[in-house]
């Protein structure tokens, strides 16, 4: 479907399921080579990354652990800085290569909070994989190790990403239509 409606908004087809699968496959191919011999734990960030994680991990042939976590929507304050808390992470990360799986990185604030807290668990190394990166909006200097697509600073939905909680189950990724008035 080239055009969909969710609640009050119209979206146009942006990335087809075929294109997405092709990129996911090439990320998996790189990981299978580059992470060989590492003691890997993949950590998917819920809810958005569930579909990317499932498709990617089916193509990973490494012996690796897999876990998921959530980032709290409310912000706690520590030393005056607002930090989103990680929820549901019970694994021992010491001596592991952690690979964080994200659906989308926008300004980079969320991934900064995640990285800061993951590093507190003393893993050997942390790598970041994101399906989508809004390059123009990205303000962090954290290196993203694996990126599926660099996309414009526009709202997208589908393949795990939601608008008001809807659209996560779509196979394609759709972009919000610009409103011309």
What are the catalytic residues?
106
Q: Which of 48, 123, 148, 158 binds ligand IMP (CB under 6 A)?
A: 48
Question: How, if at all, do strands 64-78 and 40-46 pair?
Answer: parallel
In the complex, the smallest distance separating the C-beta of residue 111 from ligand IMP, rounded to whole angstroms, is 6
Comparison of 39 and 47: residue with beta carbon closer to ligand IMP: 47
Contact 159, 13 (CB under 8 A): no
Distance CA 85, CA 82 (A): 10
Does the footprint of ligand IMP cover residue 104 (CB under 6 A)?
Answer: yes
- Choosing from 16, 21, 82, 107, the residue that interacts with ligand IMP (CB under 6 A) is 107
Q: In what order do the strands lie in the sheet with 9-15?
A: 3-6, 9-15, 173-176, 156-157
* DSSP three-state, residue 162: coil
Binding mask 87-126 for Mg ion (x = CB under 5 A): ----------------x-----------------------
Partner from ligand IMP, Mg ion, none binding residue 108, C-beta < 5-8 Å depending on class = ligand IMP
For Mg ion, the closer of residues 2 and 165 by Cβ is 165
The item of ligand IMP, Mg ion, none sharing an interface with residue 107, based on CB under 5 to 8 Å by kind, is ligand IMP
Determine if 85 is a binding residue for ligand IMP (CB under 6 A): no
* Dihedral sign computed on CA atoms, order 72, 136, 154, 52: negative
Residue 133 backbone dihedrals phi, psi, to 5 degrees: -135, 125
SS3 state at 109: helix
Residues in contact with Mg ion by the rule CB under 5 A: 48, 103
């Amino acid at each position: 479907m080239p055009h969909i409606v969710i609640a009050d908004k119209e979206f146009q087809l942006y990335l087809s399921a075929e294109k997405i699968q092709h990129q996911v496959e090439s990320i998996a191919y790189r990981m299978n080579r580059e992470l060989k011999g590492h003691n890997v734990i993949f950590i998917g960030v819920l809810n958005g990354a569930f579909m990317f994680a499932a498709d990617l991990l089916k193509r990973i042939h490494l012996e690796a652990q897999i876990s998921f976590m959530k980032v709290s929507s409310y912000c706690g304050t520590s030393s005056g800085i607002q930090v989103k808390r990680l929820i549901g992470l019970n694994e021992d990360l010491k001596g592991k290569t952690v690979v964080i799986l994200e659906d989308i990185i926008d300004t980079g604030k969320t991934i900064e909070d995640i990285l800061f807290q993951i590093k507190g668990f003393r893993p050997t190394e942390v790598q970041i994989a994101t399906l989508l990166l809004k390059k123009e909006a990205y303000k962090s200097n954290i290196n993203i190790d694996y990126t599926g697509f660099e996309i414009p600073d526009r709202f997208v939905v589908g393949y795990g990403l939601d608008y008001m909680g809807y659209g996560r189950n779509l196979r394609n990724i759709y972009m919000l239509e610009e409103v011309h008035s």
